[in-house]
A and B are shown apart, each in its own frame.
Chain A
Amino acid sequence: SQQGEEDPQALSIQEGENATMNCSYKTSINNLQWYRQNSGRGLVHLILIRSNEREKHSGRLRVTLDTSKKSSSLLITASRAADTASYFCASPGGDYKLSFGAGTTVTVRA
């Protein structure tokens, strides 16, 4: 079963705009991770936020975590065409295995 669920399923924005996607999860976690997948490629790790952190930044990415609501958000600022990809949240569904949601497909229009 999938631990995380992303919302929305798909997002289309203009280059330069911000993109926000949300993730909800079911059980207690000690970290939550976000991954990106370009079409036909493997997943690439973007950022890991621990359960005792509320916000984390990495370049144009900002991730928030609200453990009381079991939710996280990923914000991509000043989007570029190269940001077009699917984005997945993932959390350890046990001691070691990472469970993924269905992902948000982001399309950045030039």
Chain B
Amino acid sequence: GAGVSQTPSNKVTEKGKYVELRCDPISGHTALYWYRQSLGQGPEFLIYFQGTGAADDSGLPNDRFFAVRPEGSVSTLKIQRTERGDSAVYLCASSLSGANTGELFFGEGSRLTVL
């Protein structure tokens, strides 16, 4: 596709459930980022992939959060035992080589609501 695609655009789930959020980056972009954005705040870094490997997962809040990118393209953010505090917009972005040299291209986000 032409841009970064994220699915689902909206997800409502109950506390304790498992959730998967998918990101399809721009073709050829080796760098992929996940951010979380709460209402009225800026995006908060979660994890960065360079190719298939997680180069930095220091932003993941706890071990309930996990992300994979098995073939170096599509990535999935997985949240186990969801809590109400996980409610936010989860943004995915991709880049040719990383933010140190160029811009990030963002998807529209996946809005997660945990009831």
Name A's B-contacting residues (CB within 8 A).
Answer: 2, 30-31, 33, 35, 41-45, 48, 88, 90, 92-103
Is the C-beta of B102 less than 8 angstroms from some C-beta in chain A? yes
**Subset of 26 A-B contacts with CB under 8 Å:** A2-B42, A30-B100, A31-B101, A41-B109, A42-B106, A42-B108, A42-B109, A43-B43, A43-B91, A45-B104, A48-B102, A48-B103, A88-B42, A95-B100, A96-B50, A96-B55, A96-B98, A97-B48, A97-B56, A97-B59, A98-B104, A99-B45, A100-B42, A100-B44, A102-B42, A103-B41
Name B's A-contacting residues (CB within 8 A).
Answer: 4, 31, 33, 35, 40-45, 48, 50, 55-56, 59, 91, 93, 98-109
Q: A42-B107, A45-B105, A101-B42 in contact; A96/B91 too (CB < 8 A)?
A: no
Q: A97-B33, A97-B48, A98-B33 in contact; A42/B91 too (CB < 8 A)?
A: yes
Contact A41 B108 (CB under 8 A): yes
B48 partner residues in chain A, CB cutoff 8 A: 96-97
Contact A31 B42 (CB under 8 A): no
- Least CB distance from B100 to A in Å reads 5
A94 partner residues in chain B, CB cutoff 8 A: 56
With CB as the reference atom, state the residue of chain B lying closest to A99: B45
What separation, in Å, do the CA atoms of A101 and B42 have in the docked complex?
A: 6
A100 partner residues in chain B, CB cutoff 8 A: 35, 42-44
| Contact among B4, B99, B109 for A97, CB-based, below 8 A | B99
With CB as the reference atom, state the residue of chain A lying closest to B4: A42
- Least CB distance from A61 to B in Å reads 14
What separation, in Å, do the CA atoms of A92 and B98 have in the docked complex?
A: 9
- Least CB distance from A50 to B in Å reads 10
